[in-house]
A = this chain, B = another copy of it.
């Protein structure tokens, strides 16, 4: 005993702990995994925040709860959580369940690794290396480098910082003070992480120049060139173009070839294709939140030069193995999760062909949905989609005879929020809506999961009709 604490043997009852894990796993299997493909289950059991707070016993107390109480809490958590695996969860850019990725995630949670040095994460570092190599091959680059990050937004930040470092390596030590104003370009349809990144990195949101898009949401190359010239005239320092291959709302692909020509002409880094790519396998490939890689064409060690801090306590140079495998210093993180592993196991399980099938099916279902929308009265496409994003309005019966004008659009703007409220409270499905570039609220359906089918597409349209029939 030291200071009244008994030091012999463990304080944890591991047998009881193991039994608790087993019982909880049974609940997880029955209540989440086995119900994932069951359309008779609700997508969500909606409760308003204040009501849900009362239903859940959220308070943390001085003394612990019994296993029985804890298992009940787990049941409650599951019951009131949104079933993002459900075939009718269409609310975000991820959905569905992949059993292989899920197993990989259970393994990493149980092993609890952190990916920075080979000595601590031998398998996961090699897996990350193999996956990044394969992704680079897939993009079509001859060589490259990369790293898995906690989210695509963070990958975009990495790219922005890399481009800046390439533009002026001294910024790492000296910072931006005293330098000309750095300017980057992206389309007005870009992801909001561009603004977050510019702000976080000290560049400033006003130095993100938004380039006009055409009626399909694609960046207009001529407009880009004008903006670059404007920035030069202002005496600022253009350094980066962030293109988008699949915009968040409309699913538009910027014209990469033409943009690449402009980048070459003005010596700008092109993020999302020529110089770097952010790729999130947790979206259409179902690898599970989060699984996001930043890939960089440069293979001269730019990533490491830009990010390294050389912590002596972690990256000792007198280790007995080849320390080039200690890749943690390429990251802004210290502890880092082995997100490449779930993608790897899934890829092993399905093969490239199986992954391709998933994407093909999603795209085919999106096309099916488009054709159905065209056939049905009251549904109106925003535009003919080029990808899996299907954006449309539903015009309820009372508005169909109305004249086109401000009043019509104002009323239509209010339809989607009401339909959304009704579907949430009913729990039948979840589908997102938003306004965009002067267009009033419309629905956005992105087909992601291979567990969905033609029947789910039909249901989606039927259900909107049903929920909005009195509007």
Contact = CB atoms under 8 A, between A and B. Distances in A.
Interface string A105-125: 111011111100011111110
A204 B2 CA distance: 46
A375 interface: no
B344 A60 contact: yes
A348 B60 contact: yes
A230 to B, nearest CB: 17
A196 interface: yes
A199 to B, nearest CB: 5
Nearest to A424: B119
Q: Rank and list the top 5 A-B pairs by shortest CB-CB distance, nearest first.
A: A175-B204, A202-B202, A17-B99, A150-B150, A192-B311
B120 A289 contact: no
A351 interface: yes
Given A204-B172, A320-B420, A454 B63 contact: no
Contacts of A398: none
13 contacts: A10-B87, A12-B99, A18-B33, A61-B352, A74-B103, A161-B200, A171-B199, A172-B205, A175-B198, A196-B309, A248-B313, A312-B435, A318-B414
Interface stretch (A90-98, A255-263, A268-276, A402-410): A90-98
Contacts of A430: 119-120
B109 A102 contact: yes
B352 A62 contact: yes
B151 A32 contact: no
A166 interface: no
A121 B94 CA distance: 14
A229 interface: no
A455 interface: yes
Contact of A126 (B11, B17, B52): B52
A176 to B, nearest CB: 4
A350 to B, nearest CB: 5
A90 to B, nearest CB: 12
Interface residues of A, number: 185
B367 A3 contact: yes
Contact of A313 (B24, B106, B436): B436
A25 interface: yes
A395 to B, nearest CB: 18
A49 interface: yes
Nearest to A7: B454
A163 interface: no
B14 A451 contact: yes
Contacts of A63: 351, 353-354
B358 A11 contact: yes
Contacts of A421: 320
A452 B354 CA distance: 45
Contact of A70 (B164, B348, B360, B436): B348
A212 interface: no
A49 B421 CA distance: 54
Contacts of A181: 175, 177-178
A211 interface: no
A226 interface: no
A388 interface: no
A53 interface: yes
Given A177-B176, A454-B7, A119 B102 contact: no
Contacts of A91: 119-120
A364 interface: yes
B114 A289 contact: yes
Interface string A37-69: 100000010111100110010111111110000
A219 interface: no
A126 B12 contact: no
A36 interface: yes
A383 interface: no
